[in-house]
Structure 1
Amino acid sequence: MPLTEEDYESLRAEANADPERYRQWDPQGKFRKEYADLHAKDEEAQKQEQEQDQEQTSRDENEIEQLPTASSSSSVATSAQYEGLRTRPTATLRRSGTLYSHDTDLYRAETSRINGPLETHPAAIERIYTHRSQHFGTVGSRASTKRKEFSLPKFGGGKPYPPALPAKEEYVVEFDGHDDPSHSQNWPLKKKLAISLIAIWCSLAATFGSSIFSAAAVGVDSEFHISQEVGTLGTSLFVLGYAFGPILWAPMSELYGRRLPIVIASFGFGIFAIGVATAANVQTVMICRFFNGLFGSCPLAVVAAIFADMYNNETRGLAISCFSATVFMGPLLAPFVGGFITDSYLGWRWTMYISSFMGFSSFLLSLFFLDETYPPLILVAKASELRRVTKNWGIHAKQEEIEVDFKELVVKNVGRPLRILFTEPIVLLITIYMSFIYGLLYTFLTAYAIVFQEIYGFNAGVGGLTYCGCSSKPFFLFHVVSRTAGLEVPLKQYSLLLSVIQFFLTYPKEALLTSKPLLVGLVIGEIIAFILVVLTNPAYVKKLKANNNIPVPEWRLPLVMVAAPIFAAGLFWFGWTGYTGKIPWIVPTLSGLFTGFGIFVIFLQLLNYIIDAYLMFAASAIAGNTFLRSLFGAVFPLFASYMYKGIGINYGQTLVGAVAVVLIPLPFIFYFYGKKIRARSTFAPAPDIEQDKRKDEESNGSSQTNKTAEET
């Protein structure tokens, strides 16, 4: 599918923002030539536009000459102001009646200042290019190809509009070198870690709230007299909110920084969790759950950007991996907590009160302790301080030039992601694979409940322990209480914490010995995967440096090629060992090692593959991926109960395992043929392919030179 005019404009803006980077990616000037051809077709319209501009300029002269003056000196000012208006190079206001419109080159980046004495360090230059690229990629940060007309009020006081700044770029603030302490990457490590912990807590609170309702669904069903499937909607609608939330939060974080969306979303998350907890009918529950997910999606869209702001290329991968681990940890921790709360005297409503407390704690932490990490917004604060101190009101940051364009917002955040999703085979197939895995993550809420509550007879809390704590934590001591030690802890009389303490004091040996085998499963599998990703990252960085910092997306796939069959094996293992109570419960519990490992590796590495393959269109590709993935996560729990109860856990897991087996060849196909597929792509720039072509041309040229020399 060919690029649209908006796509060419985006590419042109990116190239202007970072010319050196895009010269490597597009050495032949393909996109620039196509852009020129696109606009060359409209020469006649441009001529007509120029004629209209000349007429408008003459009208401006007449109107300005007729402006009233307060004194004789104002005539001189008026003349100077008119000359400034007429000679304004990049932001000329053209008048048509009572309407004005901005010139299409309003925000063209000027790179001449970058060679100044303060920006000689490569890191400083790279950061300036990055900030300019972010600026041009932000919704509304550049004028569109079509003129936008709007009513411009009079300046007031009988005064005309002042002239433009003589050299606007000289008034744009930048960071003071590569080691500027105000830049988020130069903050002290303690500050970075503190902000990282706050951001991770916000993410954990949001993902925790997604699955804790699964434990409360039974209480909701009985109180409001609804079916199990309707009760499952509480989880599905929350995840559906994940699908639509990034459309709001992602552009907001680019326009107003990272902190403001987190603060607003954390407060909204807590409010709607309270709404669920106090709901008088099922309609209120479902509506509040959707908006609970809508606000809860903000950390998933923004926290990764916070880490990208603070950490450089050497440490960013580790930080993003930690964030990814917490995204999966929340849904695994919530079921056992919700199960014990639901079975206690507190009831199902307290599961949502707990979720709201986590949301409000995130709100308070982010409100008082979360500093802004987005460099363009840091420069806005710097410019504001400089204006106040110097009284030079022309000083500003590039971010302050941004104008919100609703049409562009819709195109970038809805239209283009869907177009890339359904026209790019790499994005479509990988998104299907990731969506399948994400859907299974929430399907396990149903599968684990059936296996460990209905087949093995655990209560809701203990059944939840097998889902997450089976995975790695010694939380399974409550199973030890009821099964091994023969003690039924009276949860209706004691709080959860007192019950844990009581059992460890009474049966310390049994608790420690019996909980040891439980240090395995989903979370342990994810921890192993996390360690593996960290250990292999230095080798990836080494290859990247050897390749002139040009990423080869296929380097991300070997780990996926290992994890894909392991993940499929874990699904079969769980199904054929958990369908009968004759097999010890620890056997299906251990299957979480394989599934947890596969989930983390496949998800993280395929996400990086999309980013490396699509570069400047990666945000749109990830947006489409997130949308479809969240839809799968919302839909899968709705049919999971029917499937497992209809055909059994063994055959149900065989079905999903068969799908996982069918998807195993996918990373192998992209590893061997991904480069050829990307070469035909409209949106993938393929810098590694261009580099290979240049090397081939150089080698062919040198061989021909040698051959000619030999003949001579």
Structure 2
Amino acid sequence: MNPDLDQTEPLLPKTPTNVVTFEPNDPEDPRNWSKVRKWLMVAAIVPIDLSVSWGASGFSPVASDFAKDMGVSSSVTVLGLSITALARPFRFLSTEAIVQFGALYNGFLYGLSFLFNGAFHMIFGPDGYGFDTVGVGISFLGIVLGITVGLATNIFQERYYQQRVSQAGNHDAPEARVHYAKLAAIVLPISLLAFALTATPNIHPFFAVFASAFWGWSFYTLILMTLTYTEDAYKTYSASALAGIGLIRNLAGAGFPLVGRHLFLNAGTRNASLVLMAIAICLAPIPFILEQRGASLRKRSPWAAAHEDEDESGDN
């Protein structure tokens, strides 16, 4: 043992210690927070924790090889890859027509889904049809039914896609993804028009709920089309493309209920639904454009074209 080492001296310098204490009924004590505040804190912290864990593992398989090839430290490698991963979704949003189309449809449809949560209470609640909380909840069964039918029709959509893939020599056929979406793009504005004309207390609520079922089917079919088409088009880069779409979707999901509530209150159910129908009509050509021009759009994209070249080299 080294005699110069004094075992009685602390190895680390002493720092002042602050002990936080709370009074029994102190509102700042986390144990005294309301349940709403506690859940809000959990909802804010948990996604951050998850994103940190995913981000830490997402680049680890390639970071060491990349650092060796480029002659840089792993810290520089992870930083560069992280910056690229964070910036690429914004680049896709600003330059890729396919991502822009998907973002428009996803934003509109998800925004409508959140908007209807509040609008249905105004339409079917005490100020509309006069339903109580349970009755308002039952009015959502039309949308639930439509989405359920969408699950069933997707079986036929997938069969059609597999046939097209087989015809293409077992290569991906992204344009086959829009087969049922073309019909859904037409049904969507029609369902909103039917809802606008029937969602009034002097007409039986069954008709408005029935119209919402067609909206639910269109919602599911179009959402699924944008996601699967994007994945088939960009493959390796689809995560960045879907991240860009998800950003617009989340922003629309937050903004639509704020704007939509004022729209329904000030313009009324019929006029507000007609405005939404007009937006749906403007978006209706998207599946048809992807079917006719999707291949050329992918060839113009450096990320999608890379996979097109791989398929061609595989044939040779």
Verify same fold: TM over 0.5.
yes
What is the rounded CA distance, in whole Å, between the counterparts of 1:295 and 1:447 in structure 2? Answer: 31
- 2:134 matches 1:458: no
What is the rounded CA distance, in whole Å, between the counterparts of 2:171 and 2:198 in structure 1? Answer: 46
What is the rounded CA distance, in whole Å, between the counterparts of 2:118 and 2:48 in structure 1? Answer: 25
Q: Which residue of 2 aligns with 1:576?
A: 197
The one of 162, 175, 187 equivalent to 1:554 is 175
| Residues 289-300 of structure 1: pairs in structure 2 closer than 5 A | 291=44, 294=47
**Given residue 133 of structure 2, which amino acid in structure 1 is its aligned partner?**
A
CA RMSD of aligned residues (A): 3.4
**Given residue 456 of structure 1, which amino acid in structure 2 is its aligned partner?**
Y
CA gap of 1:424–1:400, structure 2 versus 1, over 3 A, is closer
1:652 match: secondary structure: helix
Q: Which residue of 2 aligns with 1:597?
A: 217
Q: Which residue of 1 aligns with 2:160?
A: 539
Q: Which residue of 1 aligns with 2:117?
A: 445
Tell me how far 1:277 sits from its aligned partner. Answer: 5.3
Tell me how far 1:538 sits from its aligned partner. Answer: 2.8
Deviation readout 1:290-319 (Å, 9 max, x if unpaired): 617847998xxx9xxxxxxxxxxxxxxxxx
- 2:293 matches 1:673: yes
Larger Rg: 1
What is the rounded CA distance, in whole Å, between the counterparts of 1:611 and 1:275 in structure 2? Answer: 47
What is the rounded CA distance, in whole Å, between the counterparts of 1:406 and 1:399 in structure 2? Answer: 10
Across the two proteins, how many residue pairs are aligned to each other? 272
Q: Is the 8 A contact 1:611 1:618 kept in 2?
A: yes
- 2:224 matches 1:631: no
**Given residue 617 of structure 1, which amino acid in structure 2 is its aligned partner?**
Y
What is the rounded CA distance, in whole Å, between the counterparts of 2:265 and 2:97 in structure 1? Answer: 35
| Residues 115-514 of structure 1: pairs in structure 2 closer than 5 A | 278-279=35-36, 284=37, 288=41, 291=44, 294=47, 405-453=77-125, 454-467=127-140, 471=141
Q: Which residue of 2 aligns with 1:106?
A: none
What is the rounded CA distance, in whole Å, between the counterparts of 1:526 and 1:544 in structure 2? Answer: 26
CA gap of 1:277–1:527, structure 2 versus 1, over 3 A, is farther
What is the rounded CA distance, in whole Å, between the counterparts of 2:98 and 2:225 in structure 1? Answer: 14
After TM superposition, the score normalised by the length of structure 2 is: 0.76
Deviation readout 1:595-628 (Å, 9 max, x if unpaired): 1100100001111101111111111101111111
What is the rounded CA distance, in whole Å, between the counterparts of 1:275 and 1:548 in structure 2? Answer: 64
**Given residue 452 of structure 1, which amino acid in structure 2 is its aligned partner?**
F
Q: Is the 8 A contact 1:554 1:609 kept in 2?
A: yes
Tell me how far 1:562 sits from its aligned partner. Answer: 0.8
**Given residue 626 of structure 1, which amino acid in structure 2 is its aligned partner?**
G
What is the rounded CA distance, in whole Å, between the counterparts of 1:460 and 1:694 in structure 2? Answer: 59
Q: Is the 8 A contact 2:157 2:179 kept in 1?
A: no
What is the rounded CA distance, in whole Å, between the counterparts of 1:627 and 1:584 in structure 2? Answer: 39
Deviation readout 1:266-287 (Å, 9 max, x if unpaired): xxxxxx9x998524xxxx4895
- Contiguous gaps of at least 5 residues in structure 2: 1-29, 66-73
What is the rounded CA distance, in whole Å, between the counterparts of 2:236 and 2:32 in structure 1? Answer: 40
Tell me how far 1:568 sits from its aligned partner. Answer: 1.4
1:455 match: secondary structure: coil
Q: Is the 8 A contact 1:413 1:623 kept in 2?
A: no
Higher RCO (CA-CA < 8 Å; seq separation 6+) = 2
Q: Is the 8 A contact 1:412 1:620 kept in 2?
A: no
**Given residue 278 of structure 1, which amino acid in structure 2 is its aligned partner?**
K
**Given residue 585 of structure 1, which amino acid in structure 2 is its aligned partner?**
P
Q: Is the 8 A contact 1:431 1:628 kept in 2?
A: yes
Write 1 or 2 for the structure with the bigger share of helix. 2
What is the rounded CA distance, in whole Å, between the counterparts of 1:546 and 1:558 in structure 2? Answer: 16
What is the rounded CA distance, in whole Å, between the counterparts of 1:398 and 1:414 in structure 2? Answer: 18
What is the rounded CA distance, in whole Å, between the counterparts of 1:526 and 1:400 in structure 2? Answer: 42
What is the rounded CA distance, in whole Å, between the counterparts of 1:417 and 1:524 in structure 2? Answer: 34
Tell me how far 1:546 sits from its aligned partner. Answer: 3.9
2:301 match: secondary structure: coil
Q: Is the 8 A contact 1:615 1:685 kept in 2?
A: no
- Contiguous gaps of at least 5 residues in structure 1: 1-271, 303-375, 378-396, 472-520, 699-712
Q: Which residue of 2 aligns with 1:652?
A: 272
Deviation readout 1:205-232 (Å, 9 max, x if unpaired): xxxxxxxxxxxxxxxxxxxxxxxxxxxx
